[in-house]
Amino acid sequence: MSTTTPLLELRNVHSYYGNIQALKGISLTVNEGEIVTLIGSNGAGKSTTLRTISGIIHPRSGEILLDNKRIDHIPPHDVVKLGVLQSPEGRRIFPRLSVRDNLEMGAFTRNDTAGIAEDMERVFDLFPRLRERANQKGGTLSGGEQQMLAIGRALMGRPRVLLLDEPSMGLAPVLVEQIFNIIKEINSQGTTVLLVEQNALMALEIAHRGYVLQTGQIVLADTAKALSENEMVQKAYLGVE
């Protein structure tokens, strides 16, 4: 898989919040068809990396390339149009819109009515719970259902790269397992996934490759299998003594 050309590439990206440097030279690649995971503890810069890719914050230096074309410094709504969609941290569904309307918002940049309907069916097939609750307001869903909705909403934009920010956050273990199975399923249907997780164990289980982030820098990069066997990763993130 490492022989394919990278779909998404970050080259020495530095990002700041005001004067505080959050990313100190991140370089990573995501190849077509892969699940790549970004693991690390609180404050390591995982979400900042996703925000920088989405264009919500712009890097002060470095390059972000999609298909070898630079996408840093273009506004977030244009990044979405290029097929980079994010399911943001904390889900951020639209609480007072119905499930169906939430999903339709995900397809905001698209005009192909038939394609949207088709993708809606696809999302409902992936998440039958959402079909059951299609007319219910988003805010009345349980945490797990809201996470499904957030992922489904991002899928409605027909992403080439799906950015998932902490999909396991605040969910019961059995639901986490379910969500991760679905992520795998989405990937097997052809969507490239960049997954940010604190739950390193689960993330490394489904990912092809992974990066370990510490205080804004990548300290380790390897295949998921190798990472989960790495002593330092085991100690720091997997709770293995």
Partner 1 sequence: MNPRIRAGLAGGIFGALITLISVDQVVYLAGMLAGTTAGMMVAYMEPQKKWLDGLRQGIQAGLLGGLFIVIAKLLRAILINPLIGDSTDLGGQFMLGLNGLVIATIISAIFAVIATLPRPQDLIGRYAMVAILTLIYPWIDQYFQYRFMGEVIPVLVFVLMALGLNIVVGYAGLLDLGYAAFFAIGAYATAMVASPHFGISLSFWLVIWIAAAVAAIFGVILGAPTLPLRGDYLAIVTLGFGEIVPIAATNLDTFSLSILGFKVIDNINLTGGPKGINPINRPYLPGIGAFQSSQPIPWYYLILIIMIFSIFFILRLRNSRLGRAWTAMREDELAAEAMGINIVKTKLLAFSMGATFSGFAGAFYGSYISAIFPESFRFEVSVMLLCMVILGGMGNIPGVILGGLLIQFADRLFLPQLSNMMQSIISSPQVQLPSSLSFLHELSFASDFRLLLFGITLVVMMLLRPEGLIPSERQRMELHADEEPVVEQQQTEVYTARNQETV
Instruction: Give the interface segment with partner 1, choosing from 59-67, 76-84, 120-128, 178-186 (CB under 8 A).
Output: 76-84
Question: In angstroms, rounded to a whole number, what is the distance separating the alpha carbons of residues 235 and 241?
Answer: 6
Task: Quote the DSSP letter at residue 139.
Answer: G
The pairing of strands 35-40 and 192-197 is: parallel
Closest distance between partner 1 and the C-beta of residue 137, in Å?
6
Which of 27, 56, 63, 129 touches partner 1 by CB under 8 A?
Answer: 56
Residue 29 vs 54, nearer CB to partner 1: 54
Question: In angstroms, rounded to a whole number, what is the distance separating the alpha carbons of residues 66 and 167?
Answer: 23
Q: Of the candidates 2, 4, 53, which has an alpha carbon nearest to the alpha carbon of residue 194?
A: 53
Q: Under rule CB under 8 A, how many of the chain's residues touch partner 1? A: 30
Residues 6+ apart with CB under 8 A from 180: 167, 168, 202, 203, 205, 206
Residue 140 vs 181, nearer CB to partner 1: 140
Here the tokens at position 95 are 């609480």
Which of 1, 5, 43, 75 touches partner 1 by CB under 8 A?
Answer: 75
Which of 139, 143, 170, 173 touches partner 1 by CB under 8 A?
Answer: 139
Where do contacts with partner 1 occur on this chain (CB under 8 A)? 54, 56, 75-77, 80-81, 85-88, 92-97, 104-106, 108-109, 135-137, 139-140, 153-154, 157
